[in-house]
Amino acid sequence: MWQELGVDHVALISQKVEPLGWEPARKLITDAHLRLSTIFGPIPIPLDTDPRTGQREAERETIARILEFAAAVGSRSVYLCTGSMASLTWEEAADAFCEAIAPLIPLSDALGVPLAVEATNSLLADVSFVYSLRDGLDLARAAGVKVVLDVFSCWYERGLEELVRKNVDQIALVQLSDFVIGTHETGNRVVPGDGDLPLARLVSMVLDAGYEGPFDLEIMGPRMDSEGYPSAIRRSVERASELLDRCGA
């Protein structure tokens, strides 16, 4: 479908790559001449996990492998969710995240592949404790990483335009999707233009702030399943391309 649509700039999810194998995946990507905007890392473990279990070290080893793969295929970033705060306070969770990610920063810098953290919404408390772009930026600066701006998760934030303008240097990726107001399920997104988000204003906002990085279509959920991914993806690519052209991207 990517070939049929003329799409050559894509994002990957590590959970889909790993079962195939890193080397076969690298060959597929390079043979298809695909450019990668980002790779999503592993599903994170809770931040209060006892380090004596070995799970934290195993998670770091997985992220290191993804960083090396990202460098081999020219991906512009690797992004992560923080992990659940579980029994911790926000501040304790932030300290735990910074401690967990710190050993990976030298590798990220050496490979030239930035790590980024994604702010989600509170319905994803099983994988995150960061529910606003503002908190995501504070955490990213403390940890020495970048952020992902997902319009689905921050379009409603107070002072968003000023926040983006002052911190555009921290944004590694902008994710586009749409949302129907009144939906009470996380991840139930719609094709750009089918929902209620002010996408033209949001895209113009990040461009006017000086953002020059990639835009990523992140579409998922029951409405996409109902329409069927071939149709939903095709319409999303067409709508997003028209939107970006109109906004001067």
pLDDT tens sequence across 66-78:
999 999 999 999 9
**Strand, coil or helix: what is 99?**
helix
Q: Spell out the domain ranges in the chain.
A: 2-246
> What backbone torsions phi and psi does residue 231 show, to the nearest 5 degrees?
-70, -45
Please name the residue ranges forming H helices in the chain: 2-5, 14-17, 22-31, 55-73, 90-101, 105-111, 133-143, 151-154, 160-167, 199-208, 222-227, 229-246
Query: What superfamily does domain 2-246 belong to in CATH?
Result: Divalent-metal-dependent TIM barrel enzymes (3.20.20.150)
Q: What are the start-end ranges of the H helices in 168-228? A: 199-208, 222-227
Give pLDDT tens digits for 114-137: 999 999 988 899 999 999 999 999
pLDDT digits (tens, 9 = 90+) for 11-40: 999 999 999 999 999 999 999 999 999 999
The pLDDT tens digits of the residues spanning 139-169 come to: 999 999 999 999 999 999 999 999 999 999 9
Residue linked to tokens 């992140």: 218
Using an 8 Å Cβ cutoff, are 56 and 99 in contact?
no
